[in-house]
Structure 1
Amino acid sequence: MTIAKNKVVAMHYKLTNDGGEVLDSSEGRDPLYYLQGHGNIIPGLEKEMEGKNVGDKFSVSIEAKDAYGEYDEGLVQNIPREQFQQFPNLELGMKFHIDSNFGPMVVKVDEITDEHVTINGNHELAGVRLTFAVEVAEIREASEEEIAHGHVHGPHGHHH
């Protein structure tokens, strides 16, 4: 069976940046399961997975625009410190869910001064070229429910 839209795919992977630093890996864990063609993984990797078969091993570099996007300075804002009074233990790296002009998003605290708090809505890997070493472990037909919901169900997938 070949990877195509509406197939459930299980893959082992190692994710590195251009410096060779391992950012994530399935080593020692179950493979990652996803539904091909439904945006469950970054676009560049989903495109590269198309047409692969069980047992295929490959390495691919994905440019930032096809991964988590380019870094957007417009998603970095300085907010007056007094707007964070309800958070007496505010720390660098804290994350908040906010409603923005772009819809709901997660922002991270990048800087704290007496006057302001800098929040950043960029994904932590925005602007980063990513390299994946992949091994295709399993491919199966997706159920009608999985296709309707746009993600994998059951073991190793989403549970309702």
Structure 2
Amino acid sequence: MQIAENMVVSIHYTLTNKAGEKVDSSVEHGEPMAYLHGHGNIVPGLENALTGKSAGDKFDVSVNPEDGYGEHHAELIQEVPREAFQGVDHLETGMQFQADTGAGPRLFTITKIEGDTVTVDGNHPLAGEVLNFAIEVTAVRAASEEELEHGHVHGEGGHHH
């Protein structure tokens, strides 16, 4: 069975950056990652590379930023006063929080704390990066009606309700 829209696909992956450093790996988590093909559950460049593949296929693919997590945008880096974090007693670099913006909710990461000024970055941590994937397709099946309605995989390797 070939990977196409509305198929549930399970893959093992290892993601490395351009320096060859491992960023993430499903192998370390023990279970393959399952997603619903054609529903935006994974970055577009990887989804496109998986189209037409079958269980047992192994391949490497590089995904450019525009087909991954997007370009890095300097305007998403801001300095804000520490008092903007009301109710948070302890701030540290690497902490993440969600804030409402004019473009809707966005995840921000604290990148620097200097006195009463906190620098936050609204870019995805992998924005602007070429994503290098080593992929093994472990299973392909038709999605259930409920999975299609919800737009994601249920059960093992997917979402549990």
TM-score if structure 2 supplies the norm length? 0.95
Q: Distance in 1 between matches of 2:49 and 2:86?
A: 47
* Structure 1 runs of 4+ with >3 Å offset: none
Q: Which residue of 1 aligns with 2:159?
A: 158
For the pair 1:40 / 2:12, whether they are aligned, the reply is no
Q: Distance in 1 between matches of 2:138 and 2:87?
A: 48
Q: Distance in 1 between matches of 2:52 and 2:84?
A: 51
Q: Which residue of 2 aligns with 1:4?
A: 4
Percentage of identical aligned residues: 53
Q: Distance in 1 between matches of 2:43 and 2:3?
A: 16
- RMSD of aligned Cα (Å): 1.2
Deviation at 1:115, TM superposition (A): 3.7
Q: Which residue of 1 aligns with 2:22?
A: 22
Q: Which residue of 1 aligns with 2:105?
A: 104
Q: Is the 8 A contact 1:3 1:9 kept in 2?
A: yes
Counterparts of 1:126-137 in structure 2, within 5 Å, are 126-137=127-138
Deviation at 1:113, TM superposition (A): 1.5
The AA in structure 2 aligned to 1:36 is H
Unaligned runs of 5+ in 1: none
Q: Distance in 2 between matches of 1:35 and 1:101?
A: 30
Q: Which residue of 1 aligns with 2:60?
A: 59
Deviation at 1:85, TM superposition (A): 5.1
TM-score if structure 1 supplies the norm length? 0.95
What is the total number of aligned residue pairs between the two structures? 160
